[in-house]
Amino acid sequence: MDRVGVIGLGKMGLPIARNLMVRGFRVTGYRRSGSPELISEGGDVAASAAEVAAQADVIVSIVPTADDVDEIITGPSGTLTTLKPGTVHIEMSTIDVDRKARLRDLVRAAGGDLLDCPISGSPGMVAPRLATTFASGDQRSVDKITAVLDAISGPWIYTGAFGTGARMKYIANLLLAVHTVAAAEAMALARRSGLDLSLVQQTLDTSIASSAIWKQRGPLMAERAWSPAPGPVRTLHPILEQIEDHAAATGMSASVFAAAKEVFDKAMADGWGDLDIACVHDQVSGVSALDDTALEEPA
């Protein structure tokens, strides 16, 4: 299985394709807007998802929405039109599990298999293989493509039955949202208290109160540096909505998560979708992240 097709060559998909090529896989990619970057780095670019499936032994897809996943699989130029028997499709988009399971059934009917394998981490974590893939689905299919998973992200785990990968990512992103808002409130209070923000950051980095989010996003919050965004609000927000639905379906209220989600809801409503998630510092501060001068002086 040395020919891998990558569908969706955006901020996550392109570094995934690069990682695969570095580790010896031949990559054919597809993106609606094209990808001269992939060509320049030695990959091939297909004209459609169907052309990818006709060439690939393994397909990797990571696209923004459930409708996009539907289109690349079941559309008139989708993978089902040319899928080779035995092909394993590693579907890495974070979408509703039931909807993805229906696509899996269609792929199986065509002689292949589709795995639910969302990836957890920001685009900047993919290239150095620090992001984690949560692989779920038929164990035999996972065993066939372990070398591909190794190349994609480095760390990956098999979470079990189909859909447990997405649910594992829900847990990870629940914590991400809560920790981000908590860090934002802490930095905002430190600012209002007239503390040296660099000293606050350094002191808490190694304390029991720290978190990975505090270490990564605390400096951005202190500097109010939201762009370019390592992790935009608009990328996280649809996953938060899925988490909300999933928690409700289990009968859990998840009140702390709900409070954090309200902050991100407001950020989206205020037009901050393209800013980094660290911008919720300004949501809890009551100022606009779009105003560079909003916090020149401590409140």
Cα separations (Å) of 73 from 16, 49, 77, 103, 165? 20, 8, 8, 8, 20
pLDDT greater than 60 at residue 32: yes
Strands 88-91 and 26-30: unpaired
Mean of all residue pLDDT scores within the chain:
94
Give Cα separations from 194 to 114, 206, 298 (angstroms): 54, 22, 6
- For 192-236, what is each residue's pLDDT tens digit? 999 999 999 999 999 999 999 999 999 999 999 999 998 999 999
**Per-residue pLDDT, 296:** 58
Instruction: Kindly report whether the global pTM for this prediction surpasses the value 0.85.
Output: yes
Q: What is the per-residue pLDDT across 102-133, written as a single tens digit (0 to 9) for each?
A: 999 999 999 999 999 999 988 888 999 999 99
Could you tell me the pLDDT band of residue 1, with boundaries at 50, 70 and 90?
low
> What pLDDT is stored for residue 2 in this prediction?
87
How many CA atoms within 13 Å lie on the side-chain side of 45? 15
Q: How far apart are CA 104 and CA 84, in angstroms?
A: 15
pLDDT at 299 over 50: no
Model confidence at 35: pLDDT above 90:
no
> Per-residue pLDDT tens for 173-196?
999 999 999 999 999 999 999 999
Domains present along the chain, CATH in parentheses:
3-160 (3.40.50.720), 167-285 (1.10.1040.10)
